[in-house]
Structures are given as C-alpha cells and as structure tokens.
C-alpha cells in the first residue's frame, strides 16, 4: 500500500457535537490508526461545514456574526475530538480562506466548461435539510421525511450543475466496481436514486442566503453547499484548477470516505459527478455507516436523548477515552445501525477490557514476578504453541479492515484473548509451580506474554492508551508494523518489577477505580 487517505463528513456547526458525530470520527480514527500500522504514507481529514441559511439565522438570533458563531462551535468539535484522541492529520473549515478561494475557482471552471448554467425555477425548499426536494421525496402529507415539516415554495434564479450529464457514467462506475460503495447492499439504493435524478442548484440568491462564498463575477449569488462543502476533500490537500500541490498529487484519490447513510446520495452521486466534471480520479471506497440509537430510540432534541460524547466519559469518570472508543467502534456491523446504553457500555467494557484482556496481562506478569522475579529465561523461549493462532488473528484482523469490518475485527481480537485465557486455565502455571515444573511454568507464562504483545498491537487502533500501557509493561515496540509481527518479540532477561505492574484498565464499578478517580 503506497498511501492511505481517509476522510469523514464535515460536521455542520449549527449545534454541538453529539454521540452520532463521535461514532463517525471514532470509526474513522480506528480505521486510520490500523492502516498507519501497515502504511507509512497516511492522511486523515475531518472538519466543519460552516455556510448556509441555518448558520445565518442562528447567529443572528444569538446576536453575533456568522463567523464568530462558527469560530465558537468549530472549537467545540475540535475539543470533543481531542478528548476522544481523534488523531486527524488536518481539520478543515469551509470558512478557511484558502478553501473559499479554491471553491470559487472550481465553480468558475465548471461554469466555463458549461457544466454549470443559470436557470430560473420554482422549487420546494426544506430549511432543515438546506436542500430542494421533489414531490416524490415527500411523505404522503407533503412533508420532509426527515424534519416532518412542509417545505416552502421558493422562486429563484440560481446556477445549476448538469448532474444528469454524468448519470450513465456514475451508474457504470458503481456496477463495474462492486466494492465502491460499502456496504454493497446500498449500491442498488443509489442506482435507484439515479433513475430520476435531475440537475441540482449549486448557488443561492443573496437576497435569501448571504452567508456563503460569493460567486466570482456575480454579486447576486453565493455558492451553495454541494460545491462548497463537498470540495473540502480536495481543497484540504491543495487542489487548485490552476495547479495543485504535491500533497494533492500524493494522496488523491481518497482511499475511504466515511459518511453517514443519510448523506450517501450526495457523496455517491453529487460528489462523484463533480469529480467527473473536474476530470479527477474517483475515491476508491465510500463507507456509509449506520446511525447510533440511544436505548434503541433514535436521537431527537424533542425526546431529550441527544448525548454529547464527553458526557459519557464524565458520567463514568473516565480519565482516558479508550473504553468509549472501543464500545462505539464495535457497536455495529459494517454499515448497520448500532445502539448505545449505559448498562451495555459498562457491561461490555468491563467484560472485554478489564476482565478478559486487562486481567490476563496483569495476572501473567504477576506470576512472572512471583515465580521468576520478573525474568524471562532462555529456556522459556522457542516453544510457543499459541504463535500460529496469534499470527492467524493478525491476518484475520487485516482482512476485516480491508473490507472495513471494524466490529468483526474487534471480535477476532477478543477471540484471541479468550483462547489465551483458556490456555492459561488449561495449563495452570500456578499448579506447575507448585509441582516444581518451573521450566514448563515459565514457558507457559512467556507464551502468554508473547501473545499479549500481539494483542497490544491489534487493540491499539481502538484503545491507544491501553495499548501503550500494555506495551510499556511488556517492553514492546508498539510501532511494529503488522506485517512484521512475529509473536517472538520478547527476549531472555529481566522484563518487569512488581512495582511496575499496573492494571491497564480498571473495572468501572471496582473500588480501585473509584479510589483512582477521587
């Protein structure tokens, strides 16, 4: 793999980040971190979408300028991702000066090419979606299906993009590249949407929307979301119709673009058509993830069940985000909906991170100190009956990530933990020590610790802080590429002292955890 470029959807800053935003960013970060373990040339882009009528109206209601409002809310997203250890390479804002200038050039290029034209029309506009809807998009009662409000009739002369010109090319691309849209079952959904596709409005009259990027040469129009927001994926890298940067040439096309299933149409149709019009390569994969419900109920402001990502950490007094990251990343199969509940969160992270994985490392290191003063002797090495299973797990995890099956990869890691726990139970090193079979006891403990180095590498994308704590106690180089893992990284000699053995994750309801947090 020569390079890996992954993007998230950019979040609209009309509100604060919630658990749905966090799910996408964590999912993307886990994918990104995994591929940094396989490729040296990686890039991760996220950011915020900051133009449009909702920003204009909300900022006016709050008595601040749109830019001041965007500055304030964009920082909330940055702070949330910092708290969740989202390791992005770049955070782009659509109010960034460079982005705005390039968007104007993109718009002009498409006008000059004849792919954007001016047209007077009457349309049904939903302010919640910030989009024009057709009659077939509405419910039987004539309401927007997402916001359950009747769209307003808008009469404007705007610029339109010739989406219909690229309809057949998009259909052909989807059909000839079955892994272009992930999960694959969503491809037919997109093809069905393409059947009745129409040209789309890509500007708004300033009399209705003035918070946007001005159209060059037309003081009465601002560039609308499709050209503005969607172009961030290339402007961030330094794309410019007049001459692009080396970074753009290095990383484009995107390897994976991660989005919510509700905006798949815009990314698999609108965005792809824009790229075709610009004569640019298309992204390799578009991952449309599902939604996160709260206690099996869709998040809604009216129901009062919108959860901020940091509130979960605060509620459980977590000093690292790893448990929440692990839970969210493994919440749903690829492309399906997932659910969050406090009880399930507590049960799952206690079972997987504390009881199974953390306890396995802690008790094995403790026995190594108890029976061998923390030393690994030469005779303990070279007979690891768990090695093949560990290396097979590395292959399986890589395979799942190749198909963006993040929950499934986590299950394979847990299987290896369970296999290793069973190995300890079956071989009972405490009994071997009692019977005086010290070489056999040391061999069993060393085998387990060799596997734990592999587990620390595999769990790193989900739980970077826990993985680092594991690797530190094992004197293991966590920068080891997955292709270089041998399950033989530990050498003969002194490994650890009793005072350096610390739980990598305490149960959420343990007395020790409570004391640690007070």
Catalytic residue list = 18, 21, 126, 129, 144, 147, 298, 301
Closest-CA residue to 398 (of 37, 29, 24): 37
CA distance 177 to 248: 23
DSSP string, 77-131: HHHHHHHTT---SEEEETT-HHHHHHHHHHHHHHHHHTSEEEEEEEEEEETTTTE
CA distance 194 to 432: 67
DSSP string, 249-286: HHHPSPSEEEEEGGGHHIIIIIHHHHHHHTT-PPPSEE
Going by the DSSP 8-state scheme, the letter that residue 498 receives in this structure is G
> In whole angstroms, how far apart are CA 338 and each of 93, 179, 222, 297?
29, 22, 38, 11
CA distance 77 to 82: 9
- In the block, residue with structure tokens 């109010």: 95
Q: Are 222 and 203 in contact (CB under 8 A)?
A: yes
Q: Are 306 and 299 in contact (CB under 8 A)?
A: yes
The alpha carbon of residue 269 and the mean position of all alpha carbons in its chain are separated, in whole angstroms, by 21
Phi, psi dihedral angles at 20 (to 5 degrees): -65, -45
- List, in order, residues 6 or more apart from 330 with CB less than 8 Å away: 406, 407, 410, 411, 462
CA distance 266 to 226: 8
Which stretches of 427-500 are assigned E, i.e. beta strand? 493-494
Phi, psi dihedral angles at 116 (to 5 degrees): -120, 130
Coil vs helix vs strand at 239: coil
Q: Mutual orientation of helices 387-402 and 438-459 as an angle, nearest 10°?
A: 10
Q: Are 257 and 7 in contact (CB under 8 A)?
A: yes
């Amino acid at each position: 793999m020569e390079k890996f470029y992954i993007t998230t959807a950019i979040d609209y800053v009309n509100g604060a980040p919630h658990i749905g935003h966090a799910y996408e960013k964590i999912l993307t970060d886990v994918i990104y971190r995994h591929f940094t373990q396989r490729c040296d040339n990686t890039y991760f882009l996220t950011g915020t979408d900051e133009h449009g009528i909702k920003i204009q109206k909300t900022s006016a209601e709050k008595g601040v300028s749109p830019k001041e409002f965007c500055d304030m809310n964009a920082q909330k997203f940055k702070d949330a991702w910092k708290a969740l250890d989202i390791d992005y390479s770049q955070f782009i804002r659509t109010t960034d000066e460079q982005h705005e200038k390039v968007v104007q050039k993109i718009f002009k290029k498409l006008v000059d090419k004849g792919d954007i034209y001016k047209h007077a029309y009457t349309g049904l506009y939903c302010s919640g979606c910030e989009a024009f809807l057709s009659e077939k998009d509405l419910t039987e009662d004539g309401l927007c299906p997402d916001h359950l409000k009747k769209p307003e009739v808008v009469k404007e002369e705007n610029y339109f993009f010739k989406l219909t010109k690229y309809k057949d090319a998009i259909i052909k691309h989807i059909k000839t590249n079955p892994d272009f849209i992930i999960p694959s079952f969503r491809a037919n959904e997109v093809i069905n949407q393409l059947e009745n596709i129409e040209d789309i409005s890509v500007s708004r009259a300033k009399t209705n929307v003035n918070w946007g990027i001005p159209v060059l040469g037309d003081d009465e129009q601002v560039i609308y979301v499709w050209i503005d927001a969607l172009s961030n994926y290339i402007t961030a890298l330094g794309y410019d119709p007049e001459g692009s940067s080396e970074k753009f040439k290095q990383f484009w096309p995107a390897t994976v673009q991660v989005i919510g299933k509700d905006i798949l149409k815009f990314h698999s149709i609108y965005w792809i058509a824009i790229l075709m019009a610009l004569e640019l390569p298309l992204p390799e994969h578009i991952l449309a993830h599902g939604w996160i419900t709260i206690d099996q109920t869709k998040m809604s402001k009216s129901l009062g069940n919108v959860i901020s990502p940091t509130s979960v950490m605060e509620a459980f007094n977590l000093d690292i985000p790893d448990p929440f990251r692990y839970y969210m990343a493994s919440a749903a199969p690829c492309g399906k909906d997932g659910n969050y509940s406090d009880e399930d969160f507590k049960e799952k992270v206690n079972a997987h991170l504390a009881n199974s994985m953390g306890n396995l490392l802690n008790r094995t290191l403790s026995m190594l100190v108890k029976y061998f003063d923390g030393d690994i002797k030469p005779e303990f090495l070279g007979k690891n009956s768990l090695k093949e299973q560990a290396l097979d797990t590395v292959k399986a995890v890589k395979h799942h990530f190749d198909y963006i099956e993040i929950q499934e990869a986590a299950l394979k890691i847990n299987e290896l933990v369970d296999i290793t726990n069973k190995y300890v139970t079956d071989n009972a090193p405490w009994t071997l020590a009692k019977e005086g079979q010290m070489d056999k006891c040391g061999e069993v403990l060393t085998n387990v610790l060799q596997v734990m180095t592999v587990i620390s590498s595999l769990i790193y994308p989900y739980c970077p802080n826990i993985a680092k704590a594991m690797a530190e106690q094992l004197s293991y180089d966590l920068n080891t590429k997955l292709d270089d893992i041998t399950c033989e990284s530990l050498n003969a000699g002194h490994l650890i002292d009793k005072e350096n053995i610390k739980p990598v994750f305490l149960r959420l309801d343990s007395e020790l955890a409570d004391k640690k947090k007070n």
